[in-house]
Structure 1
Amino acid sequence: MTVFNIADLFEGIADAIPDRIALNCGDEHLSFAEVDRRANRLAHALLASGVEPGQHVGMQLYNGVEYAVALLATVKIRAVPINVNYRYVEAELDYLYGNSEITALLYDVEFEERVGAVAPRFPALRTLVAVGGTTDLPGSLTYEEFVAEQPDTRGFAERSEDDRYIIYTGGTTGMPKGVVWQMKDMLFAFANPTYPPPETPQGWIDHAASGGPMVMMSVAPLMHGAAQLNTWITWWMGATMTYVRKFDADTVWRTVEREKVNSITITGDAMAIPLADALEANTYDLSNLFAFVSTGAILTGTVRERIAAALPNVMILDRFGSTESGSTAQATAGSSPEKGLRFAPDVPDIAVLDDSLNPVQPGSGVLGQLARTGYIASGYYNDEEKTAKTFPVVDGRRWLLTGDIATVDADGTIMVFGRGSQAINTGGEKVYPEEIEAVLKGHPAVFDALVTGIPDERFGARVAAVVQLRETEVTPEELDAHCRKELSGYKVPRAYAFVAEMRRSPAGKADYRWAREVAEQAAE
């Protein structure tokens, strides 16, 4: 019997539309049936290697067919996929391998040296599979050797809607956290908000089968939860998912042109700025594109305007949500970090809770934390304390506190000021970095900016900015004058650190811990 389980639904869709293209990356184009058969072979290989239901399978891979197939193969056998940041060095891998308790790992051969240095420290990590070439690592097999002789048919054990799925996220202020989802909760939390989700598993399959052959593209790396969920959402629509192996703006637009992509999803300014640069420098046939979506990070107004000017016939959308909450809201017209982030909730389970965890009354102006109930994550893997703090139970209802500071307007629109953990308290005034970063990036000489607080004897903390410039030079005095046109004086950075390259995750997420260290060193 088919249940609300990713593997069950994919198999049902593959049976309903076997010949429709499900996935493409570079020169590879696979139908739903072909993806299913490849995943079956890998799933049988994982079982034969000793992976059991509930155990964790790591993926330390660039984007590609193998990554998507590995995700599907893992859930087919009721094991749990674990995303590994491919930029991690040995110390970070040591933490993640240990915290996630992976028993198998698929890795790109480019990472073999790092894998070889860390994997032997974990005896439970018994299965190593090298993707994309030969391997000299003791005990490791190439992908082709690993799946050789395995059948491409199914024959797997019955699954449950409570099977787990884990996405490691964070790292902006500390080590990443493993967000634990149950299958049904994840399906409904991340369901496409443009239509009511079907009420039965067969309804999801029928919807996919009846959908048109749309082509979607996720630009973010699959080691980021947004790209994984965008892949599943695409398949639930019966549509084709498109990847590029590594982010390069020209490669992205050439792929959109070649594959006739209809909708592209990125992550904030870190991707949008080079994409805008490429649009302004080159000519592409993007006549099939109708949607440009940012999720996981909000576009600043100036960047949004550049994209809109280059793509005048394309909808530009900002989606709001998190790995823990799912997709929750869409930015209203005119919303931006500079002018104020305003969102219209997608679902009724969204609220702003005050310090006593009571809902904020619309129009009251009271600040609280944005929260969601209903279909939310189960908690954090191996972290009961963090789980209890982030997922409190109030009057019998379990909530997720997102950490975003917000209020509710009289019409129900939610205004988000920024992450509470990143707020800078300077002389008793709260400053949210996102607003200042957006203003800085509005200066034509600034390519990227991160804002943080550094110690100040008088005010407790002062605002500091880490700035990556374009080729044009600019002085701190010029940036100061630019900011004072848009910001109250207490929000204007008191110190600047100029860097050759900003440190962000492959998905564009800010590394505020690094930014604070750089700003403090510059101030000294």
Structure 2
Amino acid sequence: MSHSWLQHYPANIKTEIEIPDGVHIANLIETTCRQYANKVALTCMGTDVSFRQYDRLSSDLASYLQNDLKMKKGDRVAIMLPNVIQFPVALQAAMKIGVICVNTNPLYTAREMRHQFVDSGAKALVIMDLFLDKLEEIIEDTEIEHVIVTSIGDQLPLWKSLLIKTVLKVKGMVPSHNLTVIPFKEALSKGSQSKKYQTPEISLDDIAVLQYTGGTTGVSKGAMLTQRNILANIYQIQEWAKPYILKGDEVILTALPLYHIFALSVNFLAFLTTGGRMILLPKPVPIENTVKAFKKYKITVMTGVNTLFNALNNSKAFQAVAPRDLKVALAGGMALQQSVAKEFQSITGTQVIEGFGLTEASPVTHCNPMHTVPPKGSIGLPLPSTNSKVLDEAGNEVPIGEVGELCIQGPQVMKGYWQRSDETDKTIKDGWLWTGDMAKQDEDGYFFIVDRKKDMILVSGFNVYPNEVEDVLASHPKVLEAAVIGIPSDSSGEKVKAFVVKKDDSLTESELKAYCEKNLTGYKRPRAYEFKDELPKSNVGKILRRELRDQEPASA
């Protein structure tokens, strides 16, 4: 196998990374907190938390989880929060005592919450008060024993916290409930008065995070990301960015959600542990919210998906305050449109660097070098210690320039899927992760994504798996059959379109929309519907999504 990509590495970037002896995620963050104790680590809604304060808060919560809730190494805690200070506090608290984090989208419906909590076997949950009504619907179906509830304003000054809580209650956004919960502030207070937590022996093979993904089949599965996986990706990302960043000096805009593996690994774990200041945006949309951050702070590093960069490009307010301190702009999660990248660079003077990754690889596997102009449409070169090749269905490497399935090998590749060895065996073969993405490689070692092997739909960087959406549609009593595909969208790259065969002629589009609103989080919901008399099928009765796609006009 050729490693032709190494010739395009900048001279001062190592081709291999090493994880120092004795390092795990918690003590890596602790070391950073000691080194940059007086610097600001986290900023959210105008409130700053220093590295010293961050370590204290996470230590207090760790003591509470271990001493009061009796959580032990290997237990699972679900974190269901937007980008607020409480998120990195909760994650680090879990890391300190060897508890596995289950990152959960706070916009999930009750049905989606149930699946993830039941499958992971989460024993405790840290959740925003805005979502307690959905939790109440399903908690009895889960193993959750302890619910730590926080408010958007819990880590803000008292006057601001009270103001926010009052506004949310007046607007009816904080639901009533009959759950037994522990206030986040109370947990911190009890933890501070309790005996100090004890960090168990943590090995690189221990699971650190269960990150849920649809994989290649559409059934939501927990990718087991170990200490080694995540630490390797931290060091890989830091090595790749090394020539362009100054330790203790970067200001990182975090508009992408931390419950998504991209922001978790890149913004939080990789850049925060260089002593950077993470600017957390709980609600980056409308785009004016993000523009305000550029106005207020000298942002030097940002991550985003194509839709975020495009929204900024089309904001007159952003154009008026075009950042001149921005050194690194990383794009991932979905294909970066060349027109968007070009316009962003013309506004800011900063080249958008496209990379590639997937949940099963913690997530980053490829990135374009920052010292040169990469080939158009490239996802870049494999990161240090990462091997990549393009294989045909028989497992043979295809010639340069020909299309096959992108396969990855490296220390960031997951241990497997949680309690699904059969799915693991389908995805990891002979030590290689089969990504499900069709790709090609050029003579210089640059890789290009051509198409997705499966029928996955990519909405604003989030994976939507047709099986799940179809299952929801098919469960409607008036639906006979349903199939969904992705169709082009100017705003989100792709959007979901549903084809439905009625069981009851009275069924309307508005009924289906209301049903999907109850059972699917926003990005998974169909945005277009078409009723049909029948769906195309193979001779064994399998619905042929390909034919539905082929019937769609190119400009849909």
TM-score (norm 1): 0.75
Q: Is 2:409 the counterpart of 1:372?
A: yes
1:36 Cα offset (Å): 0.6
Q: Is 2:256 the counterpart of 1:220?
A: yes
Q: In the aligned structure 2, how far is the partner of 1:464 from the partner of 1:369?
A: 21
Residues 61-460 of structure 1 mapped to structure 2, 5 A cutoff? 61-122=81-142, 124-132=143-151, 136-151=177-192, 155-171=198-214, 174-193=218-237, 195=239, 211-230=247-266, 231-248=268-285, 249-269=287-307, 271-279=308-316, 283-284=320-321, 286-311=323-348, 313-325=349-361, 326-331=363-368, 333=373, 340-341=377-378, 343-347=380-384, 348-363=386-401, 365-393=402-430, 398-422=431-455
Q: 1:467 to 1:42 in 2, by over 3 A?
A: same
Instruction: State the one-letter code of the partner of 2:449.
Output: V
1:13 to 32, 37, 51: 32
1:317 Cα offset (Å): 1.0
| 3-state DSSP of counterpart to 1:8 | helix
Instruction: State the one-letter code of the partner of 1:37.
Output: R
Q: 1:469 to 1:149 in 2, by over 3 A?
A: closer
Q: In the aligned structure 2, how far is the partner of 1:277 from the partner of 1:29?
A: 30
Q: 1:300 to 1:19 in 2, by over 3 A?
A: same
| 8 Å Cα contact 1:451/1:466 also seen in 2 | no
Q: In the aligned structure 2, how far is the partner of 1:179 from the partner of 1:246?
A: 27
- Range moving further from structure 2, 258-267 or 73-82: 258-267
1:465 to 487, 490, 495: 487
1:247 Cα offset (Å): 1.9
1:407 Cα offset (Å): 2.1
Residue deviations 1:87-141 (CA, integer Å, cap 9, x gap): 211111111111111000011000010011111222x211101101798543211
| 3-state DSSP of counterpart to 2:252 | strand
What are the ranges of 5 or more consecutive residues in structure 1 without an aligned counterpart? 199-206, 424-432, 439-449, 453-460, 471-496
Residue deviations 1:473-519 (CA, integer Å, cap 9, x gap): xxxxxxxxxxxxxxxxxxxxxxxx9xx9xx99xxx9974xx55x945
Q: In the aligned structure 2, how far is the partner of 1:16 from the partner of 1:194?
A: 17
Q: 1:451 to 1:93 in 2, by over 3 A?
A: closer
Greater relative CO, 1 or 2 (CA 8 Å, sep 6+):
2
Instruction: State the one-letter code of the partner of 2:436.
Output: G
Q: In the aligned structure 1, how far is the partner of 2:366 from the partner of 2:184?
A: 40
| 3-state DSSP of counterpart to 1:34 | helix
| 8 Å Cα contact 1:64/1:243 also seen in 2 | yes
1:148 Cα offset (Å): 2.1
TM-score (norm 2): 0.71
Instruction: State the one-letter code of the partner of 1:274.
Output: A
1:420 Cα offset (Å): 0.3
Residue deviations 1:342-383 (CA, integer Å, cap 9, x gap): 5322235111222222333435x2523333344311011121
| 8 Å Cα contact 1:280/1:310 also seen in 2 | no
Q: In the aligned structure 2, how far is the partner of 1:70 from the partner of 1:50?
A: 16
Instruction: State the one-letter code of the partner of 1:521.
Output: F
| 8 Å Cα contact 1:178/1:381 also seen in 2 | yes
Instruction: State the one-letter code of the partner of 2:110.
Output: E
Q: In the aligned structure 2, how far is the partner of 1:139 from the partner of 1:399?
A: 45
Residue deviations 1:26-60 (CA, integer Å, cap 9, x gap): 12211111111000111111113121110110011
Cα RMSD (Å) = 3.9
- Range moving further from structure 2, 187-196 or 238-247: 187-196
| 3-state DSSP of counterpart to 1:355 | coil
Instruction: State the one-letter code of the partner of 1:255.
Output: A
Alignment: residue pair count: 445
Q: In the aligned structure 2, how far is the partner of 1:416 from the partner of 1:282?
A: 31
Q: What is the match of residue 36 of structure 1?
A: 55
Q: 1:462 to 1:83 in 2, by over 3 A?
A: closer
Instruction: State the one-letter code of the partner of 1:416.
Output: I
| 8 Å Cα contact 2:233/2:265 also seen in 1 | no
Q: 1:171 to 1:273 in 2, by over 3 A?
A: farther
Q: In the aligned structure 2, how far is the partner of 1:405 from the partner of 1:289?
A: 33
Q: In the aligned structure 2, how far is the partner of 1:54 from the partner of 1:74?
A: 10
Q: 1:211 to 1:462 in 2, by over 3 A?
A: closer
| 8 Å Cα contact 1:186/1:376 also seen in 2 | no
1:466 Cα offset (Å): 5.5
1:467 Cα offset (Å): 4.3
What are the ranges of 5 or more consecutive residues in structure 2 without an aligned counterpart? 1-19, 155-164, 166-175, 467-482, 493-508, 535-556
Q: Is 2:531 the counterpart of 1:521?
A: yes
- Range moving further from structure 2, 326-335 or 343-352: 326-335
1:292 Cα offset (Å): 2.0
1:469 Cα offset (Å): 7.7
Q: 1:2 to 1:130 in 2, by over 3 A?
A: farther
| 8 Å Cα contact 1:218/1:242 also seen in 2 | yes
